[in-house]
């Protein structure tokens, strides 16, 4: 990687990440360890700096709307415990300039394991999903498939990193099956069903698939994710994207509960939190009111996104909803203010500080009071008998 690209990503990728760790009081030794492995195993795969792309070969990553290949987040449980996370689509830089999505991230994962940065990885679920949901072909074939089927990208993989308090990451593998579906002629739901059958997830998948089939407006199945842990501890996350016309709280609740099938105190508590956030983001409103986008109208990502957590031995999926705030809120400062008020109302003073004061400091260079797009999603997941709030951020590397 040229020195100017490394310096760029040290500032716009490593910089915010390390600042988020500091905000969450990660130990200095843990932070130094994170800085070490990010420098070796993340920054070299982020591709060129903006000047390294041309109009003919623009940024290509699936990760963020502007093509940034990295997205940050922090996840906060009901009691205030916060974990820093990020996800990366590894890129291969091209000699002629620009970059393409990496063909296979397995080698990157294996190098991290060989150096002791991660340990005891169980690759079985990752390997099954890789076999069923992706294709192994060169960039020309991928480009032709994407062009022929009007796909907006050639992405097939990205990697998630949950940063523990020791600095060691827990990895997640993410798969984007659109290219494989185009190559095989199989619907993405069929491919995901095949992966579920091989992983013993038929029961929760059948419930989810039946719900999706019955939807009046068919959502798209965009992403599948798995952990690198033994099957008994693993889960498959199936990401489902609605349409912009379904941007109402009533619609959110319908998908969050699988049309009323998911009923529990945890579901009710999570929905109560989401409704509070919804009104702070969009103002007091009726649950049926459709919220209309303020930015990038017509964009596919201007829609609610769900994931459903499927596990062996668990008959029902567990939901998470992603609100695409970058399309619907006037500025990033407005999103920050809403989240600060939400956490303050729940007595989480540290959460309020991180989403307010610390956010404004970490992303000051992007002028959050004058723009949108730093916040990508605000999300809420059911976790066992409780909920977890996650806020996602783009470095806006190509939209500064």
Q: What's the pLDDT score for residue 51?
A: 87
Please check whether residue 365 lies inside any domain of the structure. yes
Residue 233's CB is within 10 A of a number of other CB atoms, namely: 10
CB under 8 Å to 291, separation ≥6 — which residues?
A: 247, 248, 282, 285, 328
CA 79, 85, 86 angle in degrees (round to 5)? 155
Please check whether residue 270 lies inside any domain of the structure. yes
Residue 84 sits at φ, ψ, to 5 deg, of: -90, 135
Domain tally, the chain: 1
Q: What is the largest CA-CA distance in the chain?
A: 56
Please check whether residue 399 lies inside any domain of the structure. no
Please check whether residue 153 lies inside any domain of the structure. yes
* pLDDT tens digits, one per residue of 242-259: 999 999 999 999 999 999
Residue 121's CB is within 10 A of a number of other CB atoms, namely: 17
* pLDDT tens digits, one per residue of 192-205: 999 999 999 999 99
The whole-angstrom separation of Cα 326 and Cα 394 is 10
The answer to whether 127 touches 135, Cβ cutoff 8 Å, is no
Cα distance between the two ends of the chain: 22
Q: What's the pLDDT score for residue 273?
A: 97
Please check whether residue 398 lies inside any domain of the structure. no
Please check whether residue 167 lies inside any domain of the structure. yes
What is 236-282 written as a DSSP string?
EEEEEE--GGG-SHHHHHHHHTTTTT--SHHHHHHHHHHHHHHHHHH
Q: What is the pTM of this model?
A: 0.96
Q: What's the pLDDT score for residue 2?
A: 52
Please check whether residue 124 lies inside any domain of the structure. yes
Q: Which residues of the chain, if any, have pLDDT below 70?
A: 1-3, 95-96, 103
What is 287-344 written as a DSSP string?
TTPPPPPSSSTT-TTSS-EEEEEE-TT-SS-EEEEEE-HHHHSS-HHHHHHHHHHHHH
Q: What's the pLDDT score for residue 95?
A: 65
Please check whether residue 400 lies inside any domain of the structure. no
Domain interval for residue 134: 3-393
CA distances from 246 to 80, 242, 289, 303 (A): 31, 7, 10, 7
């Amino acid at each position: 990687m040229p020195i100017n690209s490394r310096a760029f990503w040290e500032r716009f990728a490593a910089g915010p990440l390390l600042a988020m760790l500091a905000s969450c009081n990660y130990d200095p030794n843990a932070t130094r360890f994170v800085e070490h492995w990010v420098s070796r195993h993340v920054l070299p795969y982020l591709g060129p700096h903006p000047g390294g792309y041309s109009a003919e070969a623009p940024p290509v990553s699936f990760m963020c709307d502007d093509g940034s290949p990295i997205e940050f987040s922090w996840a906060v449980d009901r009691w205030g415990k916060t974990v820093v996370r990020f996800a990366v689509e590894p890129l291969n830089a091209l000699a002629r300039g620009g970059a393409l999505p990496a063909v296979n991230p397995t080698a990157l994962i294996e190098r991290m394991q060989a150096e002791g940065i991660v340990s005891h990885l169980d690759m079985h679920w990752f390997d099954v999903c890789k076999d069923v949901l992706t294709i192994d072909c060169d960039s020309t074939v991928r480009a032709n498939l994407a062009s022929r089927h009007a796909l907006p990208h050639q992405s097939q993989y990205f990697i998630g990193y949950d940063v523990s308090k020791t600095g060691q990451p827990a990895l997640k593998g993410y798969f984007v099956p659109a290219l494989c579906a185009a190559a095989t002629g199989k619907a993405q739901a069929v491919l995901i069903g095949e992966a579920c059958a091989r992983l013993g997830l038929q029961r929760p998948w059948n419930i989810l698939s039946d719900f999706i089939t019955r939807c009046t407006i068919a959502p798209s199945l965009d992403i599948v994710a798995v952990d690198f842990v033994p099957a008994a501890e693993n889960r498959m996350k199936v990401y489902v994207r609605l349409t912009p016309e379904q941007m109402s709280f009533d619609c959110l609740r319908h998908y969050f509960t699988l049309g009323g099938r998911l009923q529990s105190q945890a579901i009710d508590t999570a929905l109560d939190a989401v409704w509070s956030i919804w009104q702070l983001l969009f103002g007091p409103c009726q649950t049926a009111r459709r919220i209309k986008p303020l930015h990038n109208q017509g964009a596919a990502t201007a829609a609610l996104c769900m994931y459903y957590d499927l596990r062996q031995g668990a008959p029902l999926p567990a939901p998470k909803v992603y609100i695409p705030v970058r399309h619907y809120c006037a500025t990033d400062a407005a999103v920050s203010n809403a989240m600060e008020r939400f956490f303050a109302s729940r007595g989480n003073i540290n959460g309020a500080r991180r989403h307010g004061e610390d956010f404004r400091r970490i992303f000051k260079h992007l002028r959050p009071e004058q723009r949108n797009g730093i916040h990508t999603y605000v999300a809420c997941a059911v976790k066992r008998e409780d909920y977890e709030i996650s806020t996602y951020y783009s470095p806006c590397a190509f939209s500064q």
